[in-house]
Chains A and B, each alone.
Chain A
Amino acid sequence: MSDRRTGAQIMCEALIRENVEVLFGIPGGAIMPFYHALPEYASQLRHVLCRHEQGAGHAAEGYARVSGRVGACVATSGPGATNLVTPIADAWMDSTPLVAVTGQVGSALLGTDAFQETDITGITLPITKHSYLVTDPNELPRVFREAFHIASTGRKGPVLIDVTKDAQQARTVPVWDVPMDLPGYRPTYEGNARQVREAARLLAEAEHPLIMAGSGVIWSGGGEALRALAERTGIPVITTLQGKGAFPDDHPLALGMPGMHGWVHVNRAIQACDVLLNVGGRFDDRVTGKASTFAPHAKIIHVDIDPSEIGKIVRVDVPIVGDARRVLEALTEAVEPRDRSSWLAEIREMQEQHEHRQSYRKRPESSALMPHDVYEAFDRIARERGGYRVITDVGQHQMWAAQLIEWRDPGTHITSGGAGTMGFSVPAALGAAIACPDETIWVICGDGGFQMTNQELATMRQEGIRNVKIAIIDNGYLGMVRQWQELFEQRRYSGTPLTGPDFALLAEAYGHRGMRVTDPAEVDGAITAAWDHDGCVVIDFQVEREANVFPIVPQGRSIGEMMTEGVAE
């Protein structure tokens, strides 16, 4: 008798067996049996009550992105589950390991439009790596084991487990020693030796080679391996938005970010290179611009753990399916070193010809606070202090952060890249703060994104989180859309002007510290004070309203066609 457990207890024990320590979620009718069991396991399984299921999902993503472990979140059926759709889609696009557990109506009610019934496995079908609908508690041990295995191996991603209420309530003796049943799932980790040799030959013969590093390098723990390959071959390295931190920005071979808001010299180098090694990136359209014109002279080597990424966007000369770190190590061993200093000098000359990064700002004839002032101060202070992570949201502030801050370590730059989910940053910081309690978790976000999910400030207060510092780059617009409207739509600011509350006062209302900065002279003091404050802080940086992100490649154009200044008077 004592071995008999409810399905809900089995779910808790399965999570503990998968080394889950923190669970982000909100209870509701169909998940109540699970929540009933949860207190019995409180010493091993911390539950963080979020204010919205979207927040719970992003918090689990933030936790996963800084820890490298699977993030876990839980919600009830119906609206609870549909509120998880956005973070699941976000995790799908950015290959974040996430397991979402949802309650479902009783199995007898499935398909009857019962109260709070939605077909969540159906809804999330195209945005999950896999999903399960569990109606029998005996399946729970295998399903949880498979779900965590699938989420955390190969190309990582979200897995959904939908458990009917009766399966949570029914009692059974769990059989933990049950094999996984995944005959169709065999990720490839080792690159094909012949292909690796071919890639090494191309790299050795290349006059103007480039390495482009994406998030696969970070997920595989391949930062050191990338550095070893770059240093052995002298090949310059580009890091994509999600690859930021995979290679130190202050390394002599580091070039910066490519694509829509990449530096001119980086995009020019891509257009001029003869061999491009993309490792762990997926040639996102924000990187390639018009794909048919991307790297026209290059032989392309594409290393990806997901075979379906290869050849999806650009033609590939040498495909290598495998884990980024292992392939980088194999390449380093196979490749012949060669002097590339003249090619690097050529790129640096291109860089010199174009303005230095800070001069891309167009300071108006006023003493207004420019966003660039904030980034410059943050970069300087952060370098002195260390021990921080930065979570950005989506929009202008995100691109400035990628451009203007020097990223040096994997896992320090966390952002919603593929899905471009506004509202990602504040809840993701909640998860990151729990995963890294001894580090300072900075959020840089816009006033638009902040207002989408800022209720998680209450969660931070309730959970006693003290290490989140939020910098709002507040320009009173949905700034990136406004910038496009300015540059490409004759300044028709349709639906972009935005008012907000007094953000500093709002922070105080939530029990945190709030500050407002309008003067460039106050920026250093505010960042330092926030860093030193024992508790969460929101700083409202009220910046020049119409500052733009430059350079910019207009959508659908070749990355060779960059605008380095706008049409604004």
Chain B
Amino acid sequence: MRSTIAALIQDHPGALNRAVSLFRRRGFNIHSIAVGPSETPGIARMTVVVDAEHVEQVAKQLYRLIDVIKVCDLTDERTLQRETALLKVHAPSASRADIVALCTIFHARILDAGSHSLVIELTTTPATLDRFTDLVRPFGLKEVARTGQIAMVCPVHRERTATLTAAEESELDFEPNPLAV
């Protein structure tokens, strides 16, 4: 089971280290991590995919860090997920057409070609990336670089929560969740 956590953190030296350290402390393996600028200058967005099931406690402890501004456990949310991969595939003329055909099916782009290999770019869900990788592997997979998954809650869901007025929110029969985006 994998869990996905997104966090907004201050773009300071050491901030990422502090955040990642909480997963290390629990012995959770980080499957992927993607960090980059968010919509707010000076604030970075970090998306962590962890090989662990119960991450609520880590999410709360993450929120406790001074450098962390928002935390969202996306595991059970309706999210859009994307990841980009670059794959260098062995592609002599005999198999090249088959590989190009696969790229067409998956809407992958061929970025560069050499006499014996192709470099392919594919942006899709992590699961589809896994499938594509498995399909090209028999041709001879020379090198793979993946960005790590990023995720965003679907707009439909967002609009619903955004339309809640303050009064309606206070009627929710649970503590306002400090982790909610």
Chain A interfacial positions (CB closer than 8 Å to B): 121-122, 125-126, 129-131, 133, 150, 182-185, 188, 192, 194-195, 306-308, 310-312, 319-321
Contact = CB atoms under 8 A, between A and B. Distances in A.
A183 B175 contact: no
B66 A184 contact: yes
B29 interface: no
B57 A311 contact: yes
A306 B57 CA distance: 12
B173 A194 contact: yes
B17 A125 contact: yes
Given A125-B18, A194-B170, A194-B173, A184 B65 contact: yes
15 contacts: A125-B14, A125-B21, A126-B21, A182-B66, A184-B9, A184-B67, A184-B68, A192-B176, A306-B64, A308-B57, A308-B60, A308-B63, A311-B57, A321-B175, A321-B178
A195 B69 CA distance: 24
Contacts of A307: 60, 63-64, 178
Contacts of A121: 14
Given A150-B66, A184-B66, A307-B63, A319 B57 contact: no
A185 B173 contact: no
B178 to A, nearest CB: 6
A142 to B, nearest CB: 13
Nearest to B171: A194
Contacts of A192: 175-176
Contacts of B9: 184
Nearest to A193: B170
Main secondary structure of the interface of B (DSSP, over half): mixed
B66 A130 contact: yes
Most buried by B among A122, A133, A184: A184
Given A130-B67, A183-B69, 7 more contacts: A133-B13, A150-B66, A184-B65, A184-B67, A192-B175, A195-B175, A307-B64
A308 B61 contact: yes
Interface in B144-181: 170, 173, 175-176, 178
Contacts of B69: 183-184
Contacts of B4: none
Contacts of B178: 188, 307, 321
Contacts of A194: 170, 173
B18 A129 contact: no
A121 B173 CA distance: 41
Main secondary structure of the interface of A (DSSP, over half): mixed
A-B pairs with the 6 shortest C-beta distances? A308-B60, A184-B69, A130-B66, A308-B61, A308-B64, A185-B66
A514 B57 CA distance: 50
A130 B25 CA distance: 17
B47 interface: no
Contact of A133 (B14, B56, B176): B14
Nearest to A131: B14
A311 B176 contact: no
Contacts of A122: 17
Contacts of B68: 184
A484 to B, nearest CB: 27
Contacts of B65: 130, 184
B10 interface: yes
A312 B61 CA distance: 10
Given A125-B18, A306-B64, A307-B64, A319 B175 contact: yes
Contact of A312 (B17, B25, B57): B57
B180 to A, nearest CB: 12
A185 B64 CA distance: 8
A304 to B, nearest CB: 11
Most buried by A among B14, B170, B175, B178: B175
A312 B67 CA distance: 22
Contacts of B18: 125
B157 to A, nearest CB: 23
B148 to A, nearest CB: 22
Given A194-B173, A307-B60, A126 B25 contact: yes
A121 B13 CA distance: 11
Contacts of A319: 175
